[in-house]
Each structure stands twice: as C-alpha cells, then as structure tokens.
Amino acid sequence: MTISAPIHAPVRPAAQGVVRRLIVFILLFTLVVIVAIGLSGLLGRLLDTSVTLAGSDVTGLAQSLAFTFIAGPLAALLGWFVWRSLRDERERATISWGLYLAAISSVAVITFSLSLLSAASDLLAGEWRPSAAATAIVWAGVWCLHRVIWRRPQTAPLRLAALVPLIGAWFGMGLLVGGGIGALGTLFHAAVDRFTDPVSIGSSWWLFAAQSALWSLGGGILWWTQWIHDRARDRPSAFASVLLIVLGIGGGALTCLFGLGTTVYVVLDVAFDRSQPLAAVLDPLPTALAAGLIGAVVWRYHHVVVTQRSVAVRLSERLVLSGIGLAGAASGVGILVNSLLAASVPTFAGNDLRPLLLAGLSSLLVAAPLWWMAWKPAAVVHATAARSMGRRVYLIAIFGVSAVVALITLLVIAYRLFAFTLEAHAELNLVDHVRAPLGLLFATALTAGYHFRVWRNDRAAFPPLIPVEPMIRHVVLVTGADPEPLSQAISAVSGAQVTVWPRAEADEFGPTVESVVSALSGVSGERMLLLAGPGSRIEVIALVGDTGAATVR
C-alpha cells in the first residue's frame, strides 16, 4: 500500500547547478579513491617488516607519496567546500549528493570487507599479508567517515538515503551465503569422504572450513549492521523491492533449486548407475546439500519479509518464482526429449544415455512443483489479479521470449538439415544432427503455446477497464479494505493520482473494483473524495468547490 502525503514541491534547480554538483561530486569521489590508494600503499610498507620503506620498488613508493600528498589536500579542500554547502537543505535534497554517498560508501565497504576477510583468512593459514591489512584499515576509515556523514542529521541526504544500507546489506548477504556454503560443504565433504574412503581424508580440510566460516561470519556482521541496525529492511522503495525480489527471493530460490536438483541427480545416479566408483558419484553431493539448505533459509527469510509488503510486491514474488520454475521445467523437458531422440539413433543406442536422461528428469522433478505452487494453474483467477500489470507483462514476456527462442531453434534445425543434406559423406544420423534443437523447440513451443492461451483467456474473461470521461486529476480514497486493487483500478480508468486514507475500522468485505469504476463513471471534477465501504457502500464527493456527487448503495 502506498500512502502519499502532501509535500511542498522543491524549486527546480537550474541546469548550471546540476552540472556543478555533478562535476564536484565526481571530482570528490575520484580524489577520495586516489587518496585511499596512496595511504594503503604507504601503510602497507610500514606494516611489512620484511622490507625497508623504499625497498626495490621506488616507483610504487613514489606513486603512493604522490597520491597521498597531492590528492589528499585537494580532497580535503573540496570536502570542506561540500561540507559548507550542505548547510543548505536544498543541497542535501539533491540526487547527486545521495548518489555520491551511496557510491563511495559502497566502494569503501566492499573494499574494506574483502581486504579484511582476505587478510584474516591468510592469517589462519599462517601467512601475513600487510598490503591487505593496510587496505582494510584505510578503507575502513573511509567507510566510517562517510557513515558518520550519512547518519548526521545536518549532512544526511534527503533523497536516495536508503541506497547506502541497501547495497551494503545485500553485499553482506552474498558473503554470508557464499561463505556458509563453502563451510558447510567442506564439513559434508569430510563426512562423505570418511564414509567412502577414510584413508584419503587429510588433516587440512578444517582450514578451508574455518576460512569459509570466517567469510560467512564477516558477511553476517555486515548484513546485520546494514539490514537490521541501519533499518534497510524498513525502508521500502521501488529499488528496495526489486533487490528484495531479485536477490532475496530469486537468488535464494535459484541456490536452493540448484542444490536440490543436484542432490536428486546424485540420488538417481546412485540408484540406476553402478558403473562408476561411489566416491566419484557422491563428489558433488556435499556442496549441493549445503547450497540447498542455505538457499532454502535465505528464501524462507525473505519470503517472510515479502509478506509484509504491498500486494504488487507479493505478486512479483509469485511471478519470479513461477519464471524460475518454468525455466527449470522447460529445460528438463527439452533434455528428456533430447535423450529420448538420442536413444533412437543407432550410433548412440549402445552408449550410456543415463546421465543425460537423469539430468532432465532431476531438473523436471525439482522445478515443476515450484512452478505449479507459484503459478497455480488450476486455481481460479480473480479479476484484480488478471488485470494486474505484473501478470500481463509476465505473460507477454514469457510468450515473447519463448517465441524468439523457438524461432532461433527453427533456424538452427533448418541449417543442420541443409548441412546434412549437402554433405557428401555424412557420418552422423539425421536425428543426431537435430535432436538437441528439437528438444529445445518442443519445450519452448509448449511454453509459448500455454502462456499465449492463458493471456488470451484473461483478455476474454477480464477485458481492460475503459477509462471514464472526463479524466479526474486527484482522488482521495478512504477505505478499510485492501486499497491496492481499488487504487490501481482508479488510476487505470481515470489517470488520476490516488491518495489513500485508511479507515480506523478494518473492512474485510469492501466494494468490488467494478462497482468503484462504475461509481466514477460520469462524475466530473478536479478532485474527488471516494468513500469505499463499509461493505458495498460507495460515495463519491466532489471537492474544492466542484459540484456533483454520486452515491451507490
């Protein structure tokens, strides 16, 4: 739900002011990076006790000195100029200031985290890397300085302020997941090796597990600092919702499905293929189990976060999961068709096609249930969902992509048919020439046909809402029910800006979208107050001196 409040429109900045800020912040960003590189080089030489300050690398020392003592004063002078200008609230409200803080904070936290965790991991292995430690110290200072600026009310950006914790939180989540999979996968590897080949277990497996756990711990601390402490979770915006759906839901689901699909493949391989050693067959299983478990945790956590967001975000989650499941299931179908066609080729009849067949089967077994649960093909589609922009864009996108892939596949099949016909001494069977693109063509044609049929049925059952005339500029919607479907319908049919005022009393069964659209039909005025509910009651009142009102009971 989006609730807008009246705000004062800022004065449109002059073009020269925009250009000035852009140049200033690009220069400041460049100077800060140059100074940090120079200080890192100097500090690295001080921490390295094995060589003298200059050593044999005179060029590197000269570069660090130039970066520090030339760019440093310039950065300080330009930073002081920017600091003074931030006394004006209009400067803090510019997009360029928010973008600068987001860019330099992101570079600083990423460089600091990678350098610190890399130095700590090498230290666990008994190796001291002064350059990495120096880089971590310097960039930690840059990050802390800009973090203070970001949190200070007198200098905090008034626009794009959520970018700083959002980027840091998702980077920390990546480190947390990657390190966790590495640590858990190493433990599972040790357990599998102890079961299959106890003699081959080395004494250094714990080192990689400890290093991976260290990376995961560092990423977890960074994620908690940005996501929980800095309340990136509680800063809903369009960009935050995109990151939540793509990285949290999509990334978690892909990681989980990859691990689960590999696990199913290994289980099927053990059950139906005894030709290879057990240790070789089970080799991908530990990492797959770790990826499946951690991906499921990430997926589940962000699903809980999504349930607290708007209807549009929840619908986006379903569509993304449906798309992931559809891609996996279509790939499985294509591989199965490919393997079945290969079995009919005499040159491959005696070969072992079980890996190809099991790969397609495992992909289908894992992805098809996800698509079924997310898309719900057997469920009744409501008018609001059918008319939603997300569902229609999804259907058109899937149909369009499938049609393009099918067209390209047809061209590949035609090319291979002509090439096979024109070859004087064809060594391969015709089916072997076209079996892979035929499998892909079958899967994409099936996908395109199904989604085109769904789109056509939606259009026939729920035609687009016809805009009412005349257009209304502003509608204040007062309702105790879910305002998202009503506000979307009002905006769609009238083009009006919709402000939602929620009632104190919740209304479980409010008026339908069709009744609200019907109530607006024929009503004229610049601003309208629309009272939706309780129950099916609708009242439309013209505001600001406009005449005319309509009541529907």
Say what the pLDDT of residue 91 is: 87
Say what the pLDDT of residue 390 is: 81
Residue closest to 139 by CA, chosen among 103, 112, 110, 102: 112
**No. of helices (H) and no. of strands (E), the chain:** 19, 5
The type of residue at 104 is I
pLDDT, tens digit, 9 for 90 and up, residues 381-434: 777 677 777 888 899 899 889 989 989 999 999 998 888 887 755 556 777 778
CB 274 within 8 A of CB 336: no
CB 360 within 8 A of CB 338: yes
500 vs 5: CA distance, rounded Å: 9
Say what the pLDDT of residue 547 is: 41
Angle at alpha carbon of residue 460, lines to 457 and 465, rounded to 5°: 125
The residue with tokens 């020439």 is 433
| Cα 423 to chain centroid, rounded | 48
478 vs 530: CA distance, rounded Å: 6
Say what the pLDDT of residue 4 is: 41
Q: Which stretches in the chain have pLDDT values below 50?
A: 1-13, 349, 468, 546-553
Locate 497 and state its tokens: 């800006």
22 vs 12: CA distance, rounded Å: 16
* Helix (H) or strand (E) segment spanning residue 27: helix 15-47
Say what the pLDDT of residue 137 is: 96
Locate 307 and state its tokens: 């349930």
Cis peptide before 534 (omega within 30 of 0): yes
pLDDT, tens digit, 9 for 90 and up, residues 133-158: 999 999 999 999 999 999 988 899 98
149 vs 143: CA distance, rounded Å: 10
Q: What is the pTM of this model?
A: 0.79
- Phi, psi angles (nearest 5°) of residue 479: -155, 155
CB 4 within 8 A of CB 499: yes
Say what the pLDDT of residue 434 is: 85
Cα-based distances in Å from 209 to 73, 212, 262, 399, 502: 44, 5, 21, 45, 52
Say what the pLDDT of residue 381 is: 75
The residue with tokens 């096609």 is 353
